[in-house]
Amino acid sequence: MFGVWLLYIIGGALRLWLSSTSWANSITSRGEVSTPLNAWKIVEEGVFLHNQDVPVYSGGVFHETPLCLLFGGFLVRSWGAYLPVLFVVLDLMTAALLSAVATSFSRQLLIRQKNEVNSYSTDAEKLLLKSSFLNSSIIYVVAAYLFSPYTIASCVAKTTTVFSNFIIAAALASMLKGQIVLFGICTAIASYQSLYPVCLLVAGALHLAQPHNEDKTQESKTSENLDKTELYAVSCRLLSSFAVTLGVLFVVSAEIAGGWDFLEATYGFILSAPDLTPNIGLFWYFFTEMFEHFRLFFLATFQINAFVYLLPLSIKLRKDPVLLAASLLALTTVFKSYPALGDVGLYLALLPMWRHLYPFMRQTFMVGCMFVATSVLGPIMYNLWIFNGSANANFYFAVTLAFNTAQIFLVTDLLFAHVKREYHLRNGSKMEVDGMPARLMLE
């Protein structure tokens, strides 16, 4: 217990120290950390324009939601001198929520293993999970979030991604706790802020419709028809809470903004991606080189990529919706129009919950090297391109492309490892044909 508190203390102190150094300004100016959708300087500019009675959403500069404008104005006026402390506290609260997510998930994994152990193979004993192993995963989740350079940079730069991560972590915690209405509310707020988290509704509905009580055994499972009925009932409650919350947020936003112009300036901006400032995403370089008459077609193609994997993954991972949620967070981070390092740090912090899959992963070394290399080379190539003039956009985009490729490799490797472990649990680790060990025929 003391070790966990020590992690929070060191993580918070590290963020506060970096916020007070000269490095904070250089981190804030990085395109990998701050984007047109999460930069705090843009929030401050929007607050200033709003206080001068200038239409905020007519100038093409401010793209945050009206509630972010209202909340940001309150923070600038009342907590301007303590903003670094506020962001650090919010990041620590996000880590605490992720700890709660890992705790609930570990408990549910043990319950599921207890209920399904009779269907496992006789030689799968080495693959069974132990409570001590899962408990250590909780500490790794907290450490992975608090000491990730991506989340630290996002907090020091005071990006609104810190708020988004907190809301998404709250949504995941409520999903694991079985709180349907609260999950719908949190998902609505997260979707209102950045649109893409709407895909978490599917993972939440699948998880909340499953029984997670210890007295639910393999023999007492409900019928398939009852499962569909439960899924339908959960989906109705979930969608109702989501729709009502989102409707209220839109109405309040229209009152704050003085109309509905904010829709085009926020969600229209996310979908059309007109700002081609370099970031860690795939949009900026491609659409810089794109002919204008092809732009709409490829824009729709790129945006579909963020959601097209929802259906096949939901079918395959219908019994593992938490892994589905983490995979969707990773994929939307790769394919969203304005990703930031803070988005990457959130889903990477969830990976220790699947430590039992690590032995089945085959690309961890390559992916790790790609993450380290691209994280170091990104700022170098950007400085060579922008400040020294000794490189061009191709150098920097090559690094961002490799960075996103590493994320794709990581997600696919994790999913393949999950499938392998499930197979070995039920079929054993020895491959046999007609009672004899199978051999690879090379002739």
Which contiguous run of DSSP H or E holds residue 17? helix 2-19
Beta bridge partners of 436: 433
Q: Nearest-CA neighbor of 348 among 100, 142, 87?
A: 142
Cα–Cα distance between 260 and 240 in angstroms, integer?
23
> 214 and 244 in contact (C-beta within 8 Å)?
no
Place of tokens 């309150």: 74
Q: Is the pLDDT of residue 220 over 50?
A: no
Cα–Cα distance between 70 and 50 in angstroms, integer?
9
Q: Helix and strand tally (H, E) in the chain?
A: 19, 2
Q: Is the pLDDT of residue 150 over 80?
A: yes
Q: Nearest-CA neighbor of 364 among 416, 415, 410, 412?
A: 410
User: Taking each helix axis from N to C terminus, what angle separates 321-335 and 200-208, rounded to the nearest 10 degrees?
Assistant: 180
Cα–Cα distance between 228 and 7 in angstroms, integer?
43
For 122-143, the pLDDT digits (tens) are 878 888 888 888 888 889 999 9
The pLDDT assigned to 100 comes to: 95
For 362-395, the pLDDT digits (tens) are 999 999 999 999 999 999 999 999 888 888 899 9
Beta carbons within 8 Å of 31's beta carbon, 6+ residues apart: 277, 278, 279, 280, 382
Cα–Cα distance between 319 and 102 in angstroms, integer?
17
Determine the average pLDDT of the residues in 209-217.
60
Q: Is the pLDDT of residue 225 over 50?
A: no
For 345-359, the pLDDT digits (tens) are 999 999 999 999 999
Residue with the bigger pLDDT between 13 and 78: it is 13
Structure tokens at 262: 């904010």
Q: Which residue stretches of 147-223 are H helix?
A: 149-156, 161-177, 180-194, 200-208
Cα–Cα distance between 60 and 69 in angstroms, integer?
15
pTM for this model (two decimals): 0.92
| DSSP single-letter state for residue 339 | -
Structure tokens at 324: 């589905």
Beta carbons within 8 Å of 178's beta carbon, 6+ residues apart: 208, 212
Q: Work out the angle at residue 414's Cα, subtended by the Cα atoms of residues 424 and 358, and round it to the nearest 5 degrees.
A: 65
The pLDDT assigned to 289 comes to: 82
Place of tokens 């500069």: 61
Q: Is the pLDDT of residue 439 over 80?
A: no
Lowest mean pLDDT among 105-119, 212-226, 239-253, 277-291: 212-226
> 354 and 414 in contact (C-beta within 8 Å)?
yes
Cα–Cα distance between 68 and 62 in angstroms, integer?
11
For 28-65, the pLDDT digits (tens) are 989 999 999 999 999 999 999 988 888 899 878 899 99
Q: Nearest-CA neighbor of 47 among 19, 17, 68?
A: 68
Q: Is the pLDDT of residue 9 over 50?
A: yes
Lowest mean pLDDT among 124-133, 186-195, 268-277, 370-379: 124-133
What share of the chain has pLDDT > 70, as a percent? 93
Q: Is the pLDDT of residue 197 over 80?
A: yes
